[in-house]
Amino acid sequence: MSNYPFSYKISWPARFVKPSLRGAGAGYLPDQVRFLPQHGQSVRLAFVGDISAVANRRPPVFDRELVALLGAADLVVGNCESPVVASPSARLGTRLGTHHAMTRGFLQGALAAAAIAPSRLVLSLANNHVLDQGIAGFEATKAALDELGIATIGTTTSVTMRTIGPVTLGLCAFTQWRNAPASAFAGRVAMADEFVAAAGNGLADGTDLVCAVPHWDWEFRHFPRPDTRDRARRLAELGVGLVVGHHAHVVQPIGRVGDTLVAYGLGDFLGTALARQPWPGRIGAILIVDVSADAATRGQIASYRMAPFMRQRDGEREKMVPLDKVAGELGTKARARWQAVYGAASPGFTS
């Protein structure tokens, strides 16, 4: 049913317990960079990782610094990793954590806690878990998000236009992976190969900046595989200027392909799989990107920064805390892991 290689499947349990740091190398950027030292107006985008309610019965609590960060964004973009349904149809799998689901009330509570207004939120539905509750669950998810006023991408290969002030963004999404048969995904979710084939050379037409949200790479690996970096290069060739990936469930580095900025993975925004997930998988990041709105440089990325945080258990919910506020040995280990991913970045950029 799924399309994962056998080697991926057998390595998954070990990597979940101990996420891998293999694959580090040259060509990555620091966790914050200013590309346009002098610019006037800008549009602020905030990107968050996978959103799921697995192992959480109650909406999360956010530190006020994270709330202020998300509340100041003109647009927030994330990945809806759990179908939004009144009750799961795959009950056993949902109980075990292999199938994802969240209620509309949970999602509303999480967005309210993070100060994210539905009107300025875009969620990708292009991921491997979107059909975990069947086709009926997929349709229920689309209906629920539409009723809440949340825009979605990834159900087709087309680019969705979004105008923020003088800047016109093009938003698109696709998934490399699926947990259900190809026939179930066909016509409902944009797959990677279909997206590239449909894109041609006109992806950026009518936009100042195209942002792609791919669901790619292998899970619980901090550094992207060579084929993922090849996909990033292909997206750059197609005219995508900003790529923000998901699926690895751990933070991954940022790179640049020509003028295209690629954030390979932000980790989870809300947790997946198990309530007591190993600590490296509880480190996530919010990517803040300022896009120039000046006439001469409109659509160019003026600056970015990664805001790391950690998901901590608080009874039946999670508490989101900036990484520099995590105390004790856990905080020391978590900050060392962040440095292992971002501390050896290429020099020569203004931060």
- Whether 104 shows a pLDDT value over 60: the answer reads yes
Q: Cα(180)–Cα(250) distance, rounded to whole angstroms? A: 23
Q: Do the bridges between strand 209-215 and strand 242-244 make them parallel or antiparallel, or are there none, so unpaired?
A: parallel
Q: Do the bridges between strand 32-34 and strand 317-322 make them parallel or antiparallel, or are there none, so unpaired?
A: unpaired
Query: Could you give the residue ranges of the DSSP H alpha helices within 37-103?
Result: 64-71, 91-96
Q: Cα(148)–Cα(170) distance, rounded to whole angstroms? A: 22
- Whether 350 shows a pLDDT value over 50: the answer reads no
**pLDDT tens digits, one per residue of 60-91:** 999 999 999 999 999 999 999 999 999 989 88
Please state the pTM of the whole predicted model: 0.96
Q: Cα(277)–Cα(55) distance, rounded to whole angstroms? A: 10
Cβ burial, residue 214 (10 Å; 0-12/13-18/19+): buried
Domains defined along the chain, listed by start: 39-342 (3.60.21.10)
- Whether 346 shows a pLDDT value over 70: the answer reads no
Cβ atoms of 212 and 242 within 8 Å: the answer is: yes
pLDDT, average across residues 270-278: 76
